Structure 1
Amino acid sequence: MNEFLNGACHCGCVRFSVKLLDGFNSIRRCTCSYCRMRGGTPVSARAEELTILTGAEVLKLYRFNTGVAEHYFCSNCGIYTHHRRRSNSALFGVNVACLEGVSPFDFPDIPVVDGVNHPNDTGTTRVVGHLRFVPE
């Protein structure tokens, strides 16, 4: 996947363009307290390949714990659009649900990584389970 994709928050105030690092192969969920509650399903992109087209002024930033990761969300509709990764600040995690024509339900199996025991603290990325969607 070498093309740029368009994305937006729910209300459309925040619009962006992104080129994914490895297509949808980097899709994942995380067990850290924030990701558990937020429920986002991110894919990876290089920081320089995500461009906010409109709505930068309504994006809000949230940091917790170490304060390294930067989680962005629309202050109007509350939707998480992307975050700068703690494990690699040159990368963003982009909410796949915000990408045009894409849904987390398009992926039958999503690896879940151990965010409680973060790779920066343990030196290893560990898959601890899988989130599955089986349509009826």
Structure 2
Amino acid sequence: MDISHNWFLWAILSAGFAALTAIFAKIGLEGVNSDYATLIRTIVILVVLAAFVWATGALSDPRQLSGKTIGFLVASGLATGASWVCYFRALKVGEASQVAPVDKFSVVLVAIFAVIFLGDRPAGREWLAIALVGAGVMLLAWKR
């Protein structure tokens, strides 16, 4: 089986690493400004990813990319940066067991945005799963 095309395996690995991110970040945020911590994290990501791209031979001339591709990758980078700043600020003042699941409300938003902007059509079972994620977030946000 070719694992490079197994989306579910990569998604599960992503979830596992995202979980570790929350735990490591919460511990690492002690005694440091959350924005500065985000900068340090971003530098580490840049160095590791650059080495990975170079080592796998995926590096190519960015001038060969279309303006649309560059524009959307820049927009994605800006959204990622804003997400990280907000996430680290939330982790600084909140519990990781609350912040990380609420952050996953992005699952609901991605589904809605994908329908609107990409023409995705989730099946009923998929909408049920998405709704359950949303319900879980509401339960976490509900004050006792």
TM-score (norm. length: structure 2) = 0.25
Larger relative helix fraction: 2
TM-score (norm 1): 0.25
Which is bigger in relative contact order (C-alpha 8 A, separation at least 6)? 2
